[in-house]
Amino acid sequence: MHKLKLIPVFLSACVILIYIPCSLSHTQAGESAVCVACHENTTPGVVGQWRNSKHSENDVGCLECHAASAAEPDAFEHWTKTIAIIVSPRDCASCHDHEYSQQKGSHHAKAGQILGSLDNLLGEVVGGMPAVDAGCRQCHGAIVKVDPSGRPTSDTWPNTGMGRINPDGSWGSCSACHTRHEFSVRQARQPEACGKCHLGPDHPQIEVWNESKHGIMYHASREDLRLEGENWRAGKEYFVGPTCASCHMCAVADQELTHDVGERISWTLRAPISKKLNMVVYEDDTKEDILGENPLMPKVGTIQTAKGGQAKRIKATLTWRERRARMQKVCQQCHNASFVRSAYKQFEEVVLLYNEKFAGPASHIMAELRKTGRITTEDFDDPIEWTWWELWHHEGRRARHGAAMQGPDYTWWHGMYEVAKHFYNKFIPEMEVVAGKELARDLLNTYVYTHPGHEWHRDGMSKEALERIQEFYRERYGR
């Protein structure tokens, strides 16, 4: 019976042999048939996924992607072929060069460069390396190390982190969004693809979107979205949603698709204090941020010293206003210009409230506490450092992301409510303990009470406000 089972395998292998044309592949045509014939038994799921893929439809087989030259650090012999397990963005670029050039300089590609960040400190030191390998690095990407046999090491692989640093030196992982081995656009257009990493206490984008009108429409009418189509433009091929990809990546009207997911973003919402984001694009497609409302942007065509010290010619620049205009072009497929302006206004006011009422004062206070030796310069050894960390990195982000994507529950309850609650009930009391009475009073007067939003905390609430509240509850709930 085992032999009988192999007959269809053999037949389908034949079919594939016949179908793969020479012209397409950079390996000899039809060679993948041998791979398929075996893997149909050893890992049939992968073969099934591939059969449903556009790759298979277009005669792109196993070796078109996995073949390697012996010189590559992760190349090894596998049944007479030289292959590599990891298919890097540079490998994908042999067919998808345009996409690679967009992805290359994006924040996504750099997601693995968090060596010096507080997040990483937390992970490696406070948590422990195994939690970094199976946690942080499964989204951020790891440096994939290769053992002497050419196989990736078990601490760095499996890894589909977005900023993976591949053995060939390239950054990123296309399969982070286009899951192997179907690699479909359909999947990457759906929100779950992004939700693998954009979720949770520190940046709950998928949760925010799910509760937004955009998410609601998507869930109610996903079947109408024509997710499979060659073209997929809001307002052209589909009218509901949108998904993450619709706004941050996809083409609309006369604006092209981009694989730099941050291109249309005009604020950084992840930093302790939000700033406007401008961009410089170098000739080699790498990119750099320039922060600020009105920075002096360098001239296109000039050469400047890029991060890392290399001199590079500037190919293009993009101010935060231009980036915003690109996003708003998407919004305007369904909303008129004044609606879009107002939505942005509401969003920005929340960012400014966060910056000015809470994060600004708190960050100044933290700096003073360090300067005066009230807390050490070491992170996470004083309770107030944890409080400040979660205030900006978790709660403050939730407020800002909630406002950016119209998720009211995240803007308020998971966001600004938590920011305010912990600012007044944890941050200030903990500051008072470490600062001592005198310095505490000074810090409050200098950084906190200078914002009118904190007056109630110093002066108490008005009698009228209190009476209005009591009256409301009496009427509503009879007590």
Q: Which of residues 211-270 bind a copy of itself (CB under 8 A)?
A: 211-213, 215-217, 219-221, 224, 234-236, 238-240, 268
* Shortest CB 165 distance to a copy of itself, Å: 16
Shortest separation between residue 437's beta carbon and a copy of itself, angstroms: 19
Instruction: Give the H or E element holding residue 288.
Output: strand 287-291
Among 155, 168, 284, 432, binds a copy of itself (CB under 8 A): 155
Q: CA torsion sign, 197 to 201 to 205 to 211?
A: positive
Residues numbered 401 to 420 that lie near a copy of itself (CB under 8 A) are 402-403, 406, 408-409, 411-417, 419-420
Q: State the nearest-atom distance from the C-beta of 64 to a copy of itself, in Å.
A: 19
Q: Which is nearer to a copy of itself, 409 or 432 (CB)?
A: 409
39: which residues sit within 8 A by CB, 6+ positions away? Answer: 46, 47, 62
User: Binding string to a copy of itself for residues 353 to 392, with x set by CB under 8 A, is what?
Assistant: x---x------------------xxxxxx-x--x------
Name the minimum Å distance from CB 36 to a copy of itself: 14
The span from the CA of 438 to the CA of 443, in Å, is 9
Binding a copy of itself by CB under 8 A: which of 24, 93, 334, 439? Answer: 334
Report, in Å, the least distance between residue 468 CB and a copy of itself. Answer: 4
406: left (phi over 0), alpha (psi -120 to 50) or beta: left
9, 38, 95, 131: which one binds a copy of itself (CB under 8 A): 131
Number of residues forming the site for a copy of itself (CB under 8 A): 141
Token look-up 């709660």 returns 395
For 122, the token pair is: 């937390």
Q: Provide the β-strand partners of residue 375.
A: none
Pick from 323, 320, 326, 280: nearest CA to 304 = 280
**Residue 466 CB coordination number (10 Å):** 11
Instruction: Tell me: does residue 446 bind a copy of itself (CB under 8 A).
Output: no
Nearest CB to a copy of itself, comparing residues 301 and 383:
383
Interface residue with a copy of itself, options 30, 105, 152, 167 (CB under 8 A): 152
For residues 262-321, which are near a copy of itself according to CB under 8 A? 268, 271-273, 275, 291-292, 307
Site for a copy of itself in 87-126 (CB under 8 A): 114-118, 121-123, 125-126
Least spacing, CB of residue 331 vs a copy of itself, in Å:
10
151 binding a copy of itself? (CB under 8 A): yes
53 to 92: interface string for a copy of itself, x by CB under 8 A: ----------------------------------------
- Alpha-carbon distance of 281 to 276, in angstroms, equals 17
* Cα separation of the two ends of the chain: 78
Instruction: In angstroms, give the least distance from the CB of 243 to a copy of itself.
Output: 11
Indicate left, alpha or beta for 438 from its phi (over 0: left) and psi (-120 to 50: alpha).
Answer: alpha
Instruction: State which residue, 29 or 418, has the beta carbon closest to a copy of itself.
Output: 418
Task: Provide, rounded to whole angstroms, the least separation between the CB of residue 403 and a copy of itself.
Answer: 5
Residues 6 or more apart whose CB falls under 8 angstroms from that of 181 comprise: 46, 47, 49, 50, 53, 55
Q: Which of these ranges, 26-34, 88-96, 127-135, 165-173, lies near a copy of itself under the rule CB under 8 A?
A: 127-135
**Residue among 28 and 52 whose Cβ is closer to a copy of itself:** 52
Q: Does position 8 bind a copy of itself by CB under 8 A? A: no
Choose which of 17, 306, 343, 439 interacts with a copy of itself (CB under 8 A).
Answer: 343
The contacts of residue 235 (CB under 8 Å, 6+ apart) are: 252, 253, 333, 334
For residue 384, CA distances in Å to 118, 119, 170, 183, 427 come to: 15, 17, 39, 45, 6
Sign of CA dihedral 235, 162, 138, 392: negative
Calculate the CA dihedral of residues 401, 402, 404, 408 and round it to 10 degrees.
180
Judge contact between 414 and 406, C-beta under 8 A.
Answer: no
Contact range with a copy of itself by CB under 8 A, out of 18-26, 132-140, 279-287, 317-325? 132-140
Give the nearest distance from C-beta 290 to a copy of itself in angstroms.
9
